[in-house]
Amino acid sequence: MNWITKIIKASEKIKTAIHKRASKEDIANSDWTSCCKGPILKKDLEQNLWVCPDCNKHHRIKPKQRFDIFFGKNNYEIFKTPIPKDDPLDWTDSKSYKDRLKSARKKTGMDCGMMVVAGTINNIKITAVASDFEFLGASMAAAEGEAFLYGIQHAIENKTPFVCFSSGGGMRMMESLISLSQMTRTTIAINELKKNNLPYLVCLTDPTAGGITASYAMLGDLHIAESDHALIAFAGARVIEGTVKESLPENFQKSSYVQKTGFVDLILNRTDLREKIGMLISILLNKDPVIRSEENETSENSQSLTKAAS
């Protein structure tokens, strides 16, 4: 066999290997996903609330999955929020914005990147909002702004606390200043909520960054990070490092570091969010918190929650 034949055969093997590589769609439809120790069954991960039992990585979840955990499976009402006109600026890059929206809606089953619901914890009615990172990176545009304002209005009219599960990379470039204006709109809405003496709690999930961090995600009465490895940032670490010309501290922009700098009040695992947030809301509303059992809630934890709420 001469060297030309060897090269041809080798290239054919490479082409075959590339052809057989799983696509993103194949991976999404697979029964398996990957984590610290390699492949893991999705059903096993789901039983642990999508948290890896070995490394404690909190895998990203959809709003419905989050609310099933937070309120109980299907134990909440999903609201249909207003949807403004698509693509107001007629944006096109490698593909049109309308096509991107169409793909995102098909992929997630949502009209926009935010879901607004109402449910009950500890006999307290709560309005909540969560973002889907699979919907264009959970970026904020006019439709998401309308959803957030709808949730705030519902909370004010029904006198309920408002819980925000933040996620996303910031404002959506395809809507330019229309998108940036949502930072102001959500800020004004939150101020109205606070004028009505209603608690606003933010659960910062991985990742929360950009204009989301610079607006509604940092205006809560309490800021709770989901796990100690959630990314909470404004600009990217590489951008900052390139600007200041210095190396950044270890775990920079991770929730454990952000807590030390005072931007996060509590760090909780996903398994504890329902119970602890329920207790915090009870404390803020001067209602008796419901504690499941003495084994699950020590007096030290209770004191730390009361301190955070105060």
What are the pLDDT digits (tens) for 163-196? Answer: 999 999 999 999 999 999 999 999 999 999 999 9
> What is the per-residue pLDDT for 34?
87
Q: pLDDT tens-digit profile of 78-99?
A: 999 999 999 999 999 999 999 9
Q: What DSSP line would sit under 5-44, residue for residue?
A: HHHHHHHHHHHHHHHHSPPHHHHHHSSEEEETTEEEEHHH
Helix (H) or strand (E) holding 203: strand 200-208
- Kindly state the tokens that stand for 297: 């809630």
Mean pLDDT value of segment 258-272: 95
Report pLDDT for 153: 98
For residue 124, the model assigns a pLDDT of 96
Q: State the CB neighbour count (10 A cutoff) for residue 46.
A: 13
Instruction: Enter the tokens of residue 285.
Output: 């509303």
- Model pLDDT, residue 7: 60
Residue 9 in this model has a pLDDT that exceeds 90: no
pLDDT of 50 higher than 50 = yes
Tell whether the model's pLDDT for residue 276 goes beyond 80.
yes
Can you tell me the distance from the alpha carbon of 96 to that of 87, in angstroms, rounded to the nearest whole number?
9
Q: Are strands 114-121 and 124-131 parallel, antiparallel or unpaired?
A: antiparallel
The Cα–Cα gap between 95 and 223 comes to: 37
Q: Which pLDDT value is given to residue 27? A: 67
Q: Spell out a b/e string for 62-78, using b for 16 or more CB atoms within 10 Å of the CB, else e.
A: bbbbbbbbbbeeeebee
Per-residue pLDDT at 156: 98
Instruction: Please give the pLDDT value at position 39.
Output: 87
**Residue 295, pLDDT score:** 47
- Residue whose tokens read 């920079």: 252
**pLDDT at res. 297:** 52
Report the pLDDT value the prediction gives residue 149, as an integer from 0 to 100. Answer: 98
Task: For the chain, give every domain's residue range.
Answer: 60-309
Write out pLDDT tens, residues 206-262.
999 999 999 999 999 999 999 998 999 999 889 999 999 999 998 999 999 999 999
The answer to whether residue 66 scores a pLDDT higher than 50 is yes
- Assign 13 a pLDDT band (cuts: 50, 70, 90): low
Q: Which value, to the nearest 10 degrees, does the dihedral of the CA atoms of residues 279, 265, 308, 160 take? A: -50
Architecture of domain 60-309: Alpha-Beta Complex (3.90)
Percent of the chain with pLDDT over 70: 84
Residue 1 above 90 pLDDT? Answer: no
CB within 8 Å of 155: residues ≥ 6 apart: 127, 161, 162, 193, 198
Evaluate if residue 119 carries a pLDDT over 70.
Answer: yes
The mean predicted confidence, pLDDT, of the chain is 89
Question: What does the pLDDT average to over 275-293?
Answer: 82
Which two structure tokens, joined as six digits, stand for 204? Answer: 């910062």
pLDDT score, position 31: 83
Summarize the confidence of residues 130-156 as an average pLDDT.
97
Q: Which residue has the tokens 């959803």?
A: 147
121 vs 5, which has greater pLDDT?
A: 121
Q: How high is the pLDDT of residue 294? A: 46
